[in-house]
Amino acid sequence: MALPIVIYDPTQQDEHSKVRGVGRYVQLLKLYFNNAWQFTGDVQQADKKSLFIQPFFNPIGPSQKTKPKGVKNIAIIHDLIPLTYPLYFPLGLRAKWSLYWNKQHIKRFDLVVTDSLESKKDIVSYFKIDERRVHVVYPTVLPIYLPHLDTIQGHRHPFHKQNDQTVFEFSPLNIDAFLPESVKQQTQAFIVYVGDATWNKNLPTLARAIKMANVPCVFVGNVFSKMQKLAAVKPHPWQKSLLEFTKLAESDKRFIFPGYVSDVELMALYKYARANILISHNEGFGFSFIEAGYMSTPSILSNIPIFHETAGNAALFVNQLDPKNIANAIIQLFYDAVSREKMSIEAFDRAQQYNPNNFINRWNTVISALGS
């Protein structure tokens, strides 16, 4: 008899987690597995005769000295970036103590799931666990991103050529109706950044590139609503790059901060943007690439292994240490409609590899590997 599958849902107890990466991932699991899995906000109430999934195993979070909660257990680790770059993510005594215990605790899980092959390499190397116990499940997108194709003529692609012109196979969104007012009031053309503001995101370099390119950029992320408070206090070491970015962006109308946006507003921002940009030093996956790709929006990405894994050749790759190189890429996609259209189609095609069916099937394969 198959074990019931129980997953811890931190968003039931912590409102802030809904706007973090873990909240986004749990949202995907709920949407695609809600009829088959049980979601609980109280770990202590989890059925001990279950296959238990911890969706955010944080190696430097509160130490977990107890046994996992189910008969069989899966831990999800999205990346180990803070441990990979200790100079930029210094750990306090409490975090070091938690890390010590969690390195022991992770070995008690039957399997580990992560977002990419690059993250798998880091997990296997750092925790010294058998690579066969670490499975890669690439993330996917919310259902609202999926294209509604016109299949009357038998086409299964959102574009085709007709009289040497690109013809859309789906009804265009009325994106003006969904764009945040703060964006519409400031600009009609922009690039978009979606994500956090930790050191690995490389925001100071992005700010310098934006100034060189002289192009507006919309920054989506709850963290940007806290920038003014940060400027008034001594920053935590993890936030020094955000403080530097805040000073570079201050009173510059090319930097647009709409604050919290809904899923529909985010989708519209992707669709309206001339390019999505993510020039991180490192990532666990690069989520904004596939979301933008589903909206047929090209991306500018760092020329690093994780983004080649995620995007293949379907992006404009740049040296993330060179603001001028980044600025040139921004200018190319912002002003050159031909380059933008070509890259848009390539980005859409690549994004289809991360469709919900692949996400569901891969998770089912992981569950099957435990014999549940």
Higher pLDDT, 187 or 26: 26
Q: Which domain holds residue 73?
A: 5-140+356-369
| Same domain, residue pair 188 and 255 | yes
| Same domain, residue pair 337 and 220 | yes
Q: How far is the C-alpha of 143 from the C-alpha of 355, rounded, in Å?
A: 10
Residue 225 has φ and ψ, to the nearest 5°, of -75, -10
Q: Which residue is listed with tokens 């991306």?
A: 299
Q: How far is the C-alpha of 289 from the C-alpha of 194, rounded, in Å?
A: 10
pLDDT at position 150 is: 44
158 within a domain of the structure (yes/no): no
Mean pLDDT score, 346-363: 94
Q: How far is the C-alpha of 306 from the C-alpha of 302, rounded, in Å?
A: 9
The pLDDT tens digits of the residues spanning 211-227 come to 999 999 999 988 887 77
pLDDT at position 225 is: 79
The pLDDT tens digits of the residues spanning 106-127 come to 988 999 999 999 999 999 999 9
| Same domain, residue pair 119 and 209 | no
Q: How far is the C-alpha of 133 from the C-alpha of 112, rounded, in Å?
A: 6
What residues form DSSP beta bridges with 186?
Answer: none
Higher pLDDT, 186 or 232: 186
Give the H/E segment covering residue 217. Answer: strand 217-220
Measuring CA to CA, which residue among 260, 274, 175 is closest to residue 221? 260
Measuring CA to CA, which residue among 3, 78, 14, 60 is closest to residue 37? 3
Q: How far is the C-alpha of 210 from the C-alpha of 204, rounded, in Å?
A: 10
| Same domain, residue pair 204 and 345 | yes
Quickly count: other Cβ atoms within 10 Å of residue 250's Cβ: 11
pLDDT at position 290 is: 96
| Same domain, residue pair 191 and 330 | yes
Half-sphere exposure of 318 (CA within 13 A, CB side): 26
Give the confidence band of 164 by pLDDT, cuts at 50, 70, 90. Answer: low
157 within a domain of the structure (yes/no): no
Contacts of residue 98, defined as CB under 8 A and 6 or more positions apart, other chains included, come to 59, 60, 61, 62, 63
Instruction: Give the CATH number for residue 108.
Output: 3.40.50
| Same domain, residue pair 13 and 66 | yes
Q: Among 16-20, 75-79, 340-344, 367-371, whose mean pLDDT is lowest?
A: 16-20
Measuring CA to CA, which residue among 202, 250, 196, 192 is closest to residue 224? 196
Q: Which residue is listed with tokens 């580990």?
A: 112
Is pLDDT of 271 > 80? yes
Give the confidence band of 49 by pLDDT, cuts at 50, 70, 90. Answer: confident
| Same domain, residue pair 361 and 283 | no
Q: What percent of the chain has pLDDT over 90?
A: 59
Instruction: Give the CATH number for residue 181.
Output: 3.40.50.2000
If one counts the domains in the chain, the total is 2
The pLDDT tens digits of the residues spanning 291-316 come to 999 999 999 999 999 999 999 999 99
pLDDT at position 159 is: 57
| Same domain, residue pair 209 and 350 | yes
| Same domain, residue pair 227 and 126 | no
Helix 323-335 with 337-351: angle, nearest 10 deg: 100
146 within a domain of the structure (yes/no): no
Task: Check if the beta carbon of residue 297 is closer than 8 Å to that of residue 340.
Answer: no
Is pLDDT of 60 > 50? yes
Q: How far is the C-alpha of 333 from the C-alpha of 298, rounded, in Å?
A: 8
Contacts of residue 61, defined as CB under 8 A and 6 or more positions apart, other chains included, come to 98, 102
| Same domain, residue pair 340 and 197 | yes
160 within a domain of the structure (yes/no): no
pLDDT at position 89 is: 92
Long-range contacts formed by 362-371: CB under 8 A, 24+ apart: 362/135, 362/136, 362/137, 362/138, 363/33, 363/137, 365/135, 366/74, 366/111, 366/113, 366/135, 366/137, 367/5, 367/51, 369/111, 369/135, 370/51, 370/72, 370/74, 370/110, 370/111
| Same domain, residue pair 20 and 110 | yes
| Same domain, residue pair 345 and 360 | no
